[in-house]
Structure 1
Amino acid sequence: MGYGAQWDGFAAMERDVRAMVADPRWPLTPTQSRADAISRRALATQDGVCWLFGAYARWYRLDPDGQWHLSAPPASLPVRASTRPVTVPIPYWVVPTGPDFSVDRGSTQGFVGPDVPNEVTERVRDLIITHRGLRREDFPLTGGPFRQVFAAEVASTVAAVWGTVMWCAYAPAFDGNEVMLSMFGEFLARPLPGDEFVRWLPPVGLADLVELYAERCRSGFPDAGLRLAALMARTAKALRADARFRPRASALIAMIEQVLNQPWLDHTALQSGAVAHSWLLRCPPNLAPAALSEVSPGDHFRHVFYDLVEALAYTADSGADPRAVAASLLAADVASVTTDAVTYLYPWMDDGIRQAMYVTLAEPGHPLRGCWPVDGRLPEGLTPPDRSTAAAFLGAAYATGLAWCELAGATPPPTGFPVSAAVGQCLVHNRDDLPPEPTTTPRKRVTETTSDWLYST
C-alpha cells in the first residue's frame, strides 16, 4: 500500500471496514475475531493520535488517557495523506455489529430555506382535517407540555399530529412561513418562540408523545388510545418522504406498528408507567440511533456535534479545521446561555475538541474567537457557499444546541442560539416560498386564535 500524495488513509480505511462489515458472515463471526479485525485497521496521524472507523459507521479518536471518543475525522488533505495503519487494543463497544452500519442518517438540514415538500404537508393537512373535529371529551388534553401549547378546546388528536412532527424532526427550526406550521396556527394558545423569520421550537420527548396514548388506555378507553397511536404512525408515514424526518419517522413507525398488531403488548408497561421504555425496546437495532436522545443524552450530543463538524466541511477549502471551527461555534452558543454547561460537556468530547473549546472560552483574543457571529451575522469566511450547505449547517447547529442544553439541564433561548440564528440570516433571501396569506385548515376555527403569530415581529 503506497503513501503518495494521493493517499487518503481515512477514506481507504473506511472503504476497507465497510466492505468487511457488509460481508454476510460478519454478524456470525465470533466477537473477539471481529474486534481483532477492526483493531488491525486503526490509523495513526503524524501527531501520534489514533483513529478508528467503527460502530455506527463513524470515526473514533483515542485520547492520551486511553479513552475512545466518537469524533469526526480531520478534513485536512495533508493530515489525511500522512496517516499510517496501526494495530491498537479496542473496547467492545466500538466494534461494528453489522446492523449498525445500515443506519439511515437522513438529512441535517433545518426547515428553513428548503421547505417541507407540498405532498408531505398536504398529507399531514388531511390528517388534521379528518381528526380535528373529534370530541374533546373522547380525546382530552389533560396535562403535560401539549396542554401549554394548544388552546383549551383542542383535542389530543391535533396534539398527536403536532407531537409526531416535532419528535420526528432532526432539528425543529422552521421558516416562519412554512406551511407545516401555518396549518396549526388556529389551534395554538400562544405564539411559538422565534422571530419574524425563524421559529425555534423546543423538542418533544417520546415520553410526552406516548403519554397521549397511555392516558387514554389507563383511563379505560384503549380503543381511543390505539386510535391516537395509529394517527401518530400515519403522520410518521407521511413525514417519512422528507429526509429530515425519515430516520425518526421510521423508528416511530416500527415502535407503534407492533402495538397496533398486538394491542396487549403495553398492558404491563401501562401499569408500571414505563410505556415509553417499552416502545424503545421494540425499536429495531438499525433504527435505534434515531431515538438515541431518549436513552443517552451524552451520546446524542456526540453524534449531533459530529454532524456539525461534517456540515462545516466546506471551511476546509479555505484552510480552516472544521473540528476547531465547530468547537469555537459551540463555545459561542454556550457562552451566550451559561458557561457552567462545560462541566457537563467536556466528558463527552475528545481531547482536541475539548482544548479548542477551552481556549476559545478562556482567551478573548484567541484566533478561534474570530469564528463567532458578530452583530447577528457569521464572519465572511464562514458564510456557507450555497443554500443546501447553509440549511445543513443551521440544522446541525440547532440540533447541537438543543442536545447540549438537554445534557446540561439548560433552557434553550427562545430567539435561537447565536450561531444557528446567524446561519438563518444567510437563508433570508433564499427561501423556497414567498410570504403568503396566512394558511389554515379549511374548516371552522375551534378558537379565536389566529395565525397572526406567524407573521408578527
Structure 2
Amino acid sequence: MPRVTWQVPGASPADPFAAIEADIRAMTASPWWMSAVPQQRAQAVTSRMLAGPGEWWLFGLWGRWYRCGLDGNWQLCPPPLDPIARQSMVPAPPGAGIPPVPPSLVTTGPDLTPGPLAADGLFGAPPPPALSARLQQTLATASAVNPAQFPMRDPQFAPGVPSPVAVSLFSVLWCAGAPVADADHPIFGLFAHSLSGVDAGPRWFLQPDLSLIVGAYTDRLRAGDPMAAAHIVRTIWETAESLRGGAAFQPRADALAAMAGSTLQMIQSDHGGIRFGDAAIYQEWLRRCPAPLRVTLLRETAPGDHFRLACYELAAAAAALPSAAAGPGEARRVAFALLAADLESVPGAIMSVLPWLDPEGARTLQSLAQPDHPLRRLWPVGGTLPDAVAGAEPQILRNLLAASYSTALAWCRLAGVAPPRPGFTVPSALMNAIVAAPDPVAGESMTPWEIIEAARAHLAEQRRADEESATPPSADGYEATSAWPGADPVADPDPVADPAGPEQQGTGAWPESPQSTSPPTTVGPGESSVPPTSVTPDPADAGRPEGRAPKPVEAYGMAFLPGADDVERLLTELRRRGKWVQSLRGQEVSSASAPAVLMVGEISCGQRRLTRMIARALAEGGVSSGDVRTLDSDDLAETDPRQLRELLAEHGGHTLLIEGLDSLILDDDRGAAYASALYRARVEGVSDTTVTATCAPERLAALSQVSPELVTDFRSVRLPDLSGLETRAELASLLATERHLRLTGGAWEVARRDLARLRGRGRLTNARLVEAYLDRACSRHLSQAGETHVFHGEGGITLDPSDFEGVAAELEP
C-alpha cells in the first residue's frame, strides 16, 4: 500500500523517533485504521521503521519501541536519549535488508494510549493543588460514615477506621507508579493518621491487587447493602478522578476511574450477580476497562508481559545514568545489572524470569552470576550505592527508584514469591541516597496539610471515644492481613498479604458484616402479612397482629419511619461530623463546611420530618441553629446559578431543605451550571449552611451520571417505600400514636384492607395519604361521638371499624 503521512502538530522531523511515534498514533486513530484488514495494518506499521548502523527500530505494541540487531532478534528497548544519536536514524528503505517483524509486535491501536507506568507519585514533588484539594474532599466524605456499617479487619489501620478510607488508600497505591511513600509527602499525609505505626521514614507498600479494591465493593453487595456498595464505588471513583490530575498517577487512574464510573451505573446488576461469586464481579470490572487503557491491567491479566514492560521502563530510567551513556544497548545492560542485584537475594526467582526476556537480555542476566562481571560494580554495597549511580541528579535517582521497585514487585508476582525480608537491595539503596541528598523542590512543606492532619487526628480520637467496644489490637507488620470471609478466591499469584521487608506493608480486606446491617425487605402491596406493633401494647389493641416492617426511630421528640438505611447511624454520623466541623471553625478548608444529606425517595416519604431531625442533631453539635428553611426547585430556578453561593449564604447557620434537586439539575436547561455552583459553594471555602435535598429513586442514577461530584459530596439516605402494605401499616401505627389514637382489632382489619388498595393522587400520596386516612377517620369519630370531651382524657381516642367505613372511597381518585 502507498505510505500515507498524518501530519501531527509538534512532531519535529529533527527527531525521527518522535516523528514516527506521532505518525503511527495519528494513523491508528484515523478512520482508515478501523476499516483496514490486519495485513494492511501490519504493513503500515512496519513500513515506518527507522534504521541505523546495524540496527532497526519499530514503534509497536503497548506504545513502546523495539530494537533489532544483526542477529535478527527483536527486543523491547527504549530509544537513545542523546539527540545526536536520535537524529542519526533514518527511515528504513523498503525492500531487502529489513528484518521480518513478528505479528505480535504490531500495535492494535488502542494499546498506544497509556504512557510510562512507573513514577514517583508518593515520594516526588508535591502534587498539584487541585489534586490535593479534591483528594482531601474525597477522604473527608469517605471517613464521614459509621465504621460499624463499613467494617474492616486490617492491622495496618488504626482501630475504628472505616473501609472507605482504606479503599481510598488502596486506590492511591494501585494508581501510584511505585507504591513507596515518603512520610512527608502531602498525599500520604492525608492517610497517616488512619494508619498504625507510622514513623518518619519511608513506607514501603506492596501494590494492592485490583481484586482487593473490588473486594471492598463485593463485600457490601454480599451483605445486602447496595447503597454502602455505591458509597465504596464513589470513593474509588472520586479517588481515581482526583489522581488523574497528576502525571505520575494518570495512566492507572484513568483506568480505575473508567471502571468505577461504569460500575456506578451497574450496581443493581452487580447486586443481582453477586450470587455467582466475587470472581464474577471482578471479571466484570476488568471488562469495564476501555480498550485504550487495558495496558494498565497487565499486572492483573498478564504478569509476564507486565514484567517485560517493567524492564523496559527500568532501562529507560537507567539510560540517564552516566554509566549508560554509550547508548540503548548499554542502558539495557545497566538495567539488567540492577535487576540481578535484587534477584540475588531470591535465587529461585530467576528461572521464572528468564523465559520472559529476549535472548540477549537472558544472556546478560545469566552472565551477571559471575563474581567478576564488570557490571557488578554498579551493585550497592552495605546499602550504599556506588558513585557511578549515587552521583546522579535527585530526579534521576527517583525515576530509577520507581522503575526498580516496580520491576522488583513484578518479578515477585511472576515467580509467585514473597519479597525478601531484608527488602530489595537496589530500591533501598536508592532511597538512602535520595534521603541523604534531598531535592529542595520535593522537600517543600505545605502548611494546609498540617491542618488536615490535625483534623484527621481529632476525628480519629472522636471515633475511638464513641466506640462502645474496643477493636482487637493490630498485629505487627510481619503477619499476613485478613481476607474476606465467604468471598470466592480470585486467582492471584502475587502474595499481596505477605510483608516485603521490615518496613514493607501488606494490604488487608473487609470482613463479612453481621446480618443486622442488611436492609429489611419491603413487603409488596398484594401480600397479606399482618402489621407490626411499634407502640406499647394496650388492651384496646387486642386483635392487632404483628408483622414485618422497618422499626421507627425516635429522636428529639419526633418519630421517623426509616427505609433500608439506618437513620440512627445517620444521626450519629452527623453529630460526630458536626463536632469535627465545629473544631475546624476559622480554618479555610472545605472539610469544615456543614454536612449535606441527599434523601432518596418518592414525594411525601418523610423528607421534612427527617430534615427536622437532622437539624436538631447538628444543633446538638453546635453547627446548626436547629431551624429549617425550605426552597423548591422552582424557587432556585429563578436564581442565576452564579448567585447560588450568595443564596446559600443567606441561610448560614440553619438547615436548608432543597425540594426536587433532581428536577433542578436534570430538567432545567442550566442544570449543569446549578450542579457546579452548588458543589463549588460547598467545597471552595467554608459553607455554614447545612443542606438536605430530595431526589426521586428512579432519577438517582441519572443525577449521579450528570453530576457525580455533587452526589458524592452528599451523604445519601434512602427513605421508606410506602407503596407496600406493611410499611403503610407501620406508618399508620406511628401516626396514630402521635395523635393519641388507638385502633381496635376490627379497626386494624379494615385499615389493613384499605391501606393495601389506596393509590392516592397528586401530592396526596405516601405519608400524606396515610395521614389523611387517619385524620378523616378521627374526624368522623368526633362528629358522631355523643360526648366529645372523652378526647381530653389521657387514654386518647379509640377508633372502631365504623369510623373507617367509606373513608378509602373518599380518598380514591
| Superposition TM-score, scaled by structure 2 size | 0.49
Secondary structure, aligned partner of 1:200: strand
Q: Deviations over 1:421-451 (max 9, x none)?
A: 222233222242369989341424245999x
The counterpart of 2:357, out of the listed 336, 349, 365, is 349
The counterpart of 1:323, out of the listed 323, 332, 335, is 332
Name the aligned partner's letter for residue 335 of structure 1.
Answer: E
- Change in CA separation of 1:163 and 1:79 when aligned onto 2, cut-off 3 Å: closer
Q: Percent identity?
A: 35
Name the aligned partner's letter for residue 355 of structure 1.
Answer: R
Secondary structure, aligned partner of 2:291: coil
Q: Tell me, in whole angstroms, the C-alpha distance in 2 between the residues paired with 1:79 and 1:224.
A: 54
- Change in CA separation of 1:434 and 1:426 when aligned onto 2, cut-off 3 Å: farther
1:135-150 pair list within 5 angstroms = 135-141=146-152, 147-150=154-157
1:242-391 pair list within 5 angstroms = 242-267=246-271, 269-273=273-277, 274-315=280-321, 318-319=325-326, 321-336=330-345, 338-360=346-368, 362-383=369-390, 385-391=392-398
Q: State whether residues 62 and 112 of structure 2, in contact with CA within 8 Å, keep that contact through their aligned partners in structure 1.
A: yes
Q: Which moved more, 1:349-358 or 1:213-222?
A: 349-358
Aligned to 1:72: 78
- Change in CA separation of 1:72 and 1:20 when aligned onto 2, cut-off 3 Å: same
Q: State whether residues 329 and 371 of structure 1, in contact with CA within 8 Å, keep that contact through their aligned partners in structure 2.
A: yes
Q: State whether residues 66 and 77 of structure 2, in contact with CA within 8 Å, keep that contact through their aligned partners in structure 1.
A: yes
1:30-109 pair list within 5 angstroms = 30-42=37-49, 46=53, 51-61=57-67, 68-73=74-79, 81=88, 85=93, 86-105=97-116, 108-109=119-120
Aligned to 2:123: 112
Aligned to 1:3: none
The counterpart of 2:426, out of the listed 419, 426, 430, is 419
Q: Say whether 1:205 aligns with 2:209.
A: yes
Q: Tell me, in whole angstroms, the C-alpha distance in 1 between the residues paired with 2:240 and 2:14.
A: 43
CA-CA distance at 1:286 after TM superposition: 1.2
CA-CA distance at 1:175 after TM superposition: 0.8
- Change in CA separation of 1:103 and 1:79 when aligned onto 2, cut-off 3 Å: closer
Q: Say whether 1:432 aligns with 2:443.
A: yes
CA-CA distance at 1:203 after TM superposition: 0.8
Q: Deviations over 1:194-221 (max 9, x none)?
A: x853211111111000011111111111
CA-CA distance at 1:402 after TM superposition: 0.9
CA-CA distance at 1:353 after TM superposition: 1.8
Aligned to 1:221: 225
Secondary structure, aligned partner of 1:426: helix
Secondary structure, aligned partner of 2:181: strand
Aligned to 1:127: 138
Q: Say whether 1:407 aligns with 2:423.
A: no
Q: Which moved more, 1:324-333 or 1:32-41?
A: 32-41
Q: Deviations over 1:213-233 (max 9, x none)?
A: 111111111111111101110
Q: Deviations over 1:111-155 (max 9, x none)?
A: 2242334543343333333332422231112x5xxx242244222
1:152-191 pair list within 5 angstroms = 152-188=159-195, 190-191=196-197
Q: Tell me, in whole angstroms, the C-alpha distance in 2 between the residues paired with 1:346 and 1:10.
A: 29
CA-CA distance at 1:271 after TM superposition: 2.5
- Change in CA separation of 1:53 and 1:99 when aligned onto 2, cut-off 3 Å: same
| Superposition TM-score, scaled by structure 1 size | 0.84
Q: State whether residues 50 and 89 of structure 2, in contact with CA within 8 Å, keep that contact through their aligned partners in structure 1.
A: no
Q: Which moved more, 1:73-82 or 1:425-434?
A: 73-82
Name the aligned partner's letter for residue 434 of structure 2.
Answer: L
CA-CA distance at 1:11 after TM superposition: 5.9
Q: State whether residues 194 and 460 of structure 2, in contact with CA within 8 Å, keep that contact through their aligned partners in structure 1.
A: no
CA-CA distance at 1:252 after TM superposition: 0.8
Kindly name which structure, 1 or 2, has the bigger radius of gyration based on alpha carbons: 2
- Change in CA separation of 1:232 and 1:44 when aligned onto 2, cut-off 3 Å: same
CA-CA distance at 1:358 after TM superposition: 1.1
Secondary structure, aligned partner of 2:375: helix
Number of residues paired by the alignment? Answer: 437
Q: Tell me, in whole angstroms, the C-alpha distance in 1 between the residues paired with 2:254 and 2:112.
A: 16
- Change in CA separation of 1:163 and 1:8 when aligned onto 2, cut-off 3 Å: closer
- Change in CA separation of 1:52 and 1:137 when aligned onto 2, cut-off 3 Å: same
Q: Which moved more, 1:214-223 or 1:81-90?
A: 81-90
CA-CA distance at 1:363 after TM superposition: 0.9
Q: Which moved more, 1:172-181 or 1:308-317?
A: 308-317
Name the aligned partner's letter for residue 399 of structure 2.
Answer: A
Q: State whether residues 68 and 75 of structure 2, in contact with CA within 8 Å, keep that contact through their aligned partners in structure 1.
A: yes
Q: Tell me, in whole angstroms, the C-alpha distance in 1 between the residues paired with 2:313 and 2:379.
A: 19
Name the aligned partner's letter for residue 294 of structure 1.
Answer: E
Q: Tell me, in whole angstroms, the C-alpha distance in 2 between the residues paired with 1:162 and 1:282.
A: 22
CA-CA distance at 1:15 after TM superposition: 5.5
Q: Highest relative contact order (Cα 8 Å, sep 6+), 1 or 2?
A: 1
Secondary structure, aligned partner of 2:430: helix
CA-CA distance at 1:169 after TM superposition: 1.0
Secondary structure, aligned partner of 1:52: strand
